[in-house]
Chains A and B, each alone.
Chain A
Amino acid sequence: MHQTPAASGEAGAKRAPQGQADIIVGIASYNNSKTIGHVVNAVDAGLGKYFPRERSVIINSDGGSTDSTPDAVLKATLDHKAIFLPHRLTAINRISTPYHGIPGKGSAFRAIFSSALSLGAKACCVVDADLRSITPEWIELLIAPVLNEGFDFVAPLYSRHRYDGTITNSIIYPVTRALYGRKIRQPIGGEFGFSGRMAGFYLAQDVWQTDVARFGIDIWMTTEALANRFKVCQSYLGAKIHDPKDPGADLREMFVQVVGSLFSLTEKHYREWKEIRDASDVPTFGFKYSVGVVPVKADMGRMLADFRVGVSNLKEVWERFIARDIIDALEEISQKDTHGFRFPKALWARIVYDFILASCHRKLPEEHLLKSLLPLYFGRTASFFLEVAEMSDDEAEDEVERVCEEYERQKGYLLERW
């Protein structure tokens, strides 16, 4: 563990963070030396500008970077005068510490929760280390609802390109909204604000040997906050621009971890969601403005090819838990050419519910089940891209809204067969 001398002196370099803090900002990192300096400066400026009187600590929870990311955290400097910041009454301490356990974002967050608890923090937030669009205002928007308004959990709200965030748009957001009845638009956004009480709750859960310790952490945090009736809200942060994903990272593996966590949480919280019928808005903070988003290119041919290969090979696997007429419908749409290809949202919602039921009823080993969903997800994503190709981002957002309504309409199907 490395600390700035201001934190607790050189003697504290090998100890857990001690003392007290009002605000903790956590940054999980792994080989992010190029971008983390900017993130730290934005956080530093945000804390200086909006929370000058609070005792604040920036904690970098690192997964064993080999590109001197911890050094970049500690060496990042900001000219406070250049952004008209007054002199702080208390120093902002920085700590860079490696986390233990399963390598992944979840384990990094666990270390941050632990620090928040030991420092007695009132409000915390976590931000990604590869952010390029983070501004000091993000810190205000993630922390102030907790510190000033008494919320326990703050989800981010971004402007995104219509082709961006496809797992969120097609599965995570609609399912979370239909089940728990709260319209949190970015349940796996990556940046969150939360209270010290919430951090204590997270830390007390025994999930750190599961996919929650990896990419499942975001959906887990949001779902636990919703299912356990914590006070939740969302804050509009503008556009999220970050580094392209690590080419070595397996995005299919990410899909399996995120959707697998969603399925297991759905099973765990059946009692909490079974009575919920309608979805309501959550309080939203931040000033909504038009923002240019980075266009996302989509390889439609590849997605459609993956879908068709899945349909022609996985029928026998799906037959265990999907009705014959649904499989016939899939076969029919897989015959369509690219131009006429459409994967109806009603069919998609029904299939996702069938997969949730199959997961709950242990029809297949979890990993097999989720991997057999991947080709269908590609098919639905390709269809969505075709549907919204000529639309603006706002119109595409309306289309996502209609997908959510379809999930809500079919929730009874899930309940009847649970």
Chain B
Amino acid sequence: MDRLAGEIMEHLKVFYGKATGFIPGLLVMLIIAGLGFILASIVKFLLRRVFRAIKFESWSEEVGLSSAFRISGIWTPPGEFIILFTYWLVILMFFMAGLGSLGIETANRLIEIFFMYLPRFFSALLLLVFGYFFAGFLARAALLAAVNAGVQSSRLVASSVRLMLLILITAMALEQLSIAPRIVFAAFSIAFGAIALALALAFGLGARDSARELIEYLVKRKREKDTKDTIDML
């Protein structure tokens, strides 16, 4: 009985020893996480003030960011989404930094991977955001150019431009994240090539008459312009 009690005591001592070694680390982690929470709240507060001051939501509405979010199924306003994203990111970063103070080997490796991956994640995110707007801008430019050239199916032209650019941008973002780069490259090449081929076939075969009409129309217009522009627009 005494032996059993002695062994229990021994184990308890070991546990106590480990606990006393672990608890300070845990406390440090909690303190760091707490600091992260405070800092995240400050950042959230400041961002809200800044966004309100610069009228970020109405700007988002104007440039189409809000509608882009809605199309993507995100109903939170863009400003609020960015604030919440930043808030949780700060908390997560502090939490991960706090995990390191526990001195667990696996946790340390996880933290290392997390922080190494962070720049790639951000560059991919930036690529997607700016790429989305760039694709929208170029698609609209293509739409207007086609409309002003008298092309009946101008929207199809614009949609094709947007689709191709979005595929290109997504492939670039995935490449940046190092997610199956070979598969992404192959898939992108196939998809891009297929779209280009499909468009060429659609235009050349499916819309043979439209293609002929369009070319005839453009040639006629060019001739008319070269002959004499009869309307003095000014």
Mark A residues whose CB is within 8 Å of B.
163-168, 188, 190, 218, 244-245, 247, 251-252, 254-255, 258, 296-299, 302, 305-306, 309-310, 312-314, 317, 320, 361-365, 368, 371-372, 374-375
Contact = CB atoms under 8 A, between A and B. Distances in A.
B228 A305 contact: no
Contacts, number: 83
Contacts of A297: 230-231
A245 B137 CA distance: 32
B62 interface: yes
B230 A296 contact: yes
Interface of B: 62, 64, 137, 140-141, 143-148, 150-152, 154-155, 221, 224-234
A268 B148 CA distance: 29
13 contacts: A244-B230, A245-B229, A254-B233, A254-B234, A297-B231, A312-B152, A317-B144, A362-B62, A365-B137, A368-B144, A371-B145, A372-B144, A375-B148
A298 B144 contact: no
A168 B64 CA distance: 33
Contacts of B221: 302
A368 B140 contact: yes
Given A298-B231, A371-B144, 5 more contacts: A165-B233, A247-B225, A296-B230, A306-B148, A313-B147
B147 A166 contact: no
B154 A245 contact: no
Nearest to B63: A362
B71 to A, nearest CB: 12
A105 B141 CA distance: 27
A255 B233 CA distance: 8
B62 A361 contact: yes
Contacts of A310: 147
List 9 A-B pairs, minimum CB-CB distance, nearest first.
Answer: A313-B154, A371-B144, A297-B230, A245-B229, A167-B233, A247-B226, A313-B147, A313-B155, A244-B228
Contact of B148 (A252, A317, A361): A252
B150 A305 contact: yes
A247 B229 contact: yes
A299 B230 contact: yes
Nearest to A315: B155
Nearest to A308: B152
B57 to A, nearest CB: 14
Given A306-B150, A312-B152, A245 B232 contact: yes
A309 B150 contact: yes
B128 to A, nearest CB: 21
Contacts of B145: 371
B159 to A, nearest CB: 11
A168 B233 CA distance: 8
A309 B154 contact: yes
A329 B151 CA distance: 22
Among B141, B151, B231, the one with the most A-chain Cβ atoms within 10 Å of its Cβ is B231
A285 to B, nearest CB: 22
Contact of A374 (B140, B143, B148, B152): B148
Contacts of B141: 368
A254 B228 CA distance: 16
Contacts of B230: 244, 296-299
B53 to A, nearest CB: 18
A314 B226 contact: no
Given A244-B229, A245-B229, A312-B152, A317 B234 contact: no
Given A247-B225, A306-B150, A365-B137, A314 B143 contact: yes
Nearest to A294: B232
Among B62, B145, B226, B233, the one with the most A-chain Cβ atoms within 10 Å of its Cβ is B233
Among B64, B137, B147, B225, the one with the most A-chain Cβ atoms within 10 Å of its Cβ is B147
A254 B233 CA distance: 9
B234 A167 contact: yes
Given A252-B148, A309-B152, A361-B62, A296 B224 contact: no
Contacts of A165: 232-234
Nearest to A295: B230
A302 B225 CA distance: 12
Contacts of B234: 165, 167-168, 188, 190, 218, 254, 258
Contacts of A218: 234
Given A313-B154, A362-B62, A371 B233 contact: no
A226 to B, nearest CB: 19
A188 B225 CA distance: 23
Contact of A309 (B140, B151, B225, B231): B151
A50 B224 CA distance: 43
Contacts of A306: 148, 150
A298 B230 CA distance: 7
B154 A296 contact: no
A320 B66 CA distance: 12
Nearest to B222: A247
B155 A299 contact: no
Given A247-B226, A361-B62, A368-B141, A309 B232 contact: no
Nearest to B158: A313
Nearest to A375: B147
Contacts of B146: 313
B138 to A, nearest CB: 11
B231 A166 contact: yes
B229 A251 contact: yes
Contacts of A252: 148
A285 B88 CA distance: 73
A298 B143 CA distance: 26
Contacts of B224: 299
Nearest to A240: B232
A164 B232 CA distance: 6
A317 B221 CA distance: 26
Contacts of B229: 244-245, 247, 251
